[in-house]
Amino acid sequence: MNIIFLGPPGAGKGTQAAYLEDKLGVPKLSTGDMLREATQSGSKLGQHVKQVMEAGQLVADDIMIDLIRDRIRQQDCADGFILDGFPRTMAQAEALDEMLTQERVAIDHVLKLEVNADALVERISGRFACGDCGEGYHDMHKKPTQEGVCDRCGGTEFTRRADDSAETVRKRLDGYREMTAPLMPYYESKALLRHVDGMLPIAEVTSQINQIVGKKAA
């Protein structure tokens, strides 16, 4: 099964994509995570990407399209994948369609998480992650069971993202409205768009998604 998550920064795409990865047994391809890894490499590309991300802007389409093309050709994507953070522009959506036609696969569902703007800011400002395995948490909504210890790997170091500052988040939200929101009518016209109420507690959002992916695509 091939799934796309759409939604503004902080809507819960990464959180729900991780649950779905476990449920479906297909990999979650998070372009944000891939780019953050690239920034750690110290390469020229990594340095460029770091600057773009910290400014709250989008990385160029050609870089992103090559990244995803290489990734979905890997063996672990043979039975499907979950896209978290891609596509984000019309050029990316059209390039994805071309790639999928070449690979003779199709998207089953585009899950759009609907969350209001106040909640997005609150979610992003409370977000942190395990520094060892990357498991995501929130100061209010998803705390580790034992304070200071990661539920998944037992790690005790936690990190906050450099692009989660108030000013950068505002720019990311503007970018979403301008560049990514136009994808909704595109996927609506292909009868792939499924609206998910992302304002509900995490487990209830998961359960809505499970109901959708449990059904065959329309």
Q: What proportions of the chain, in percent to the nearest 5, are helix, strand and coil?
A: 50, 15, 35
Q: How far is the CB of 21 from ligand AP5 (least distance, A)?
A: 13
Contacts of ligand AP5 in 131-170 (CB under 6 A): 136-138, 141-142, 163
Q: How far is the CB of 79 from ligand AP5 (least distance, A)?
A: 23
Contacts of ligand AP5 in 46-85 (CB under 6 A): 52-53, 57-59, 64, 85
Residue 3 binding ligand AP5, by CB under 6 A: no
Strands 28-30 and 81-84: parallel
Pick one of 32, 80, 131, 144: the residue that binds ligand AP5 (CB under 6 A): 32
Considering beta carbons, is residue 137 or 186 the nearer one to ligand AP5? 137
Residue 28 binding ligand AP5, by CB under 6 A: no
Provide CB contacts within 8 A for 182, sequence distance 6+.
90
Provide CB contacts within 8 A for 157, sequence distance 6+.
130, 131, 132
The residues annotated with a catalytic role in the active site are 13, 88, 127, 161, 172
Residue 159 β-bridge partners: 129
Q: How far is the CB of 47 from ligand AP5 (least distance, A)?
A: 14
Interaction mask 86-125, ligand AP5, x per CB under 6 A: x-x---x------------------------------xx-
Considering beta carbons, is residue 143 or 190 the nearer one to ligand AP5? 143
b/e per residue 17-37 (b: at least 16 CB within 10 A): bbbbbeebebbbbbbbebbbe
Q: Is 4 left (phi over 0), alpha (psi -120 to 50) or beta?
A: beta
Give the interface size with ligand AP5 as a residue count (CB under 6 A).
36
Q: Cα–Cα distance between 209 and 41 in angstroms, integer? A: 35
Residue type at position 49: V
What's the gap between Cα 185 and its chain centre? 19
Per CB under 6 A, residues contacting ligand AP5 are: 7, 9-15, 31-32, 35, 52-53, 57-59, 64, 85-86, 88, 92, 123-124, 126-127, 136-138, 141-142, 163, 172, 198, 201-202, 205
